[in-house]
């Protein structure tokens, strides 16, 4: 099964110069935990609710004035839309990510694959469970 068969399409994106507060509001309205950051049609990063809390709020920054670019994760983990679902799951496991950007062969964002997509739409429930277990393993705290 290819990713394009189970991914979430019509993904909303946010610009890097939007505020962290704008991103939080968008996440609330869309009921999602993360949003791709795009500059035009170029994928620049991904911002999550956790990014906003850890990189802005916990550091004393004002979410109304700091930008998405200030708090986003710029290491983009992605896969092609015609990639196999199991390959995408392995990428999620290796990188411990719950969401994977999905691009076409021109490297334009066409969707998002989430753990929920794997669990609900995927053919192999055991595999989805393995991915969830690996991704959910706690990280070692930094000292």
User: What's this model's pTM, rounded to 2 decimal places?
Assistant: 0.81
Contacts 24+ apart (CB under 8 A), 131-134: 131/89, 131/92, 131/93, 134/93, 134/96
26 or 90, greater pLDDT: 26
CATH number among 2.130.10.10, 3.10.580.10, 3.40.50.2300, 3.10.580.20, domain 3-136? 3.10.580.10
What confidence tens digit (pLDDT) does each residue in 40-87 have?
Answer: 878 999 999 999 999 999 999 999 999 999 999 999 999 999 999 889
143 or 69, greater pLDDT: 69
Q: At what angle do helices 85-95 and 125-136 cross, to 10 degrees?
A: 20
CA 122 to each of CA 27, 83, 88, 140: distance values in angstroms, whole numbers, following the listed order: 25, 13, 11, 30
**What are the phi and psi torsion angles at 58 (to 5°)?**
-65, -25
- The half-sphere exposure of 125 on its side-chain side, counting CA atoms within 13 A, is 1
Distance of CA 110 to the CA centre of its chain: 13
28 or 129, greater pLDDT: 28
Residue 124: what pLDDT? Answer: 58
Q: Hey, is 67 helix, strand or coil? A: strand
125 or 114, greater pLDDT: 114
Rounded mean pLDDT, 111-138? 70
In the chain, where the domains are located: 3-136
pLDDT band with cut points at 50, 70 and 90 for residue 28: very high
Work out the mean pLDDT of the chain and round it to a whole number: 87
Rounded to whole angstroms, the Cα distance separating 116 from 132 reads 9
User: Which positions ≥6 away from 9 have C-beta within 8 Å?
Assistant: 110, 111
């Amino acid at each position: 099964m290819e990713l394009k068969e189970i991914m979430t399409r019509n993904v909303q994106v946010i610009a890097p110069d939007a505020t962290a507060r704008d991103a939080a509001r968008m996440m609330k309205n869309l009921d999602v935990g993360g949003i791709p950051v795009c500059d035009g049609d170029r994928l620049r990063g991904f911002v999550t609710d956790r990014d906003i809390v850890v990189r802005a709020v916990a550091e004393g920054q004002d979410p109304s004035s700091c930008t998405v670019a200030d708090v986003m994760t710029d290491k983009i983990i992605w896969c092609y839309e015609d990639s196999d679902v199991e390959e995408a799951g392995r990428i999620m496991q290796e990188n411990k990510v719950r969401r994977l950007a999905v691009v076409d062969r021109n490297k334009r964002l066409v969707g998002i694959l989430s753990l929920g997509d794997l669990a609900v739409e995927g053919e192999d429930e055991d595999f989805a469970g393995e991915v969830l277990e690996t991704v959910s393993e706690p990280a070692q705290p930094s000292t």
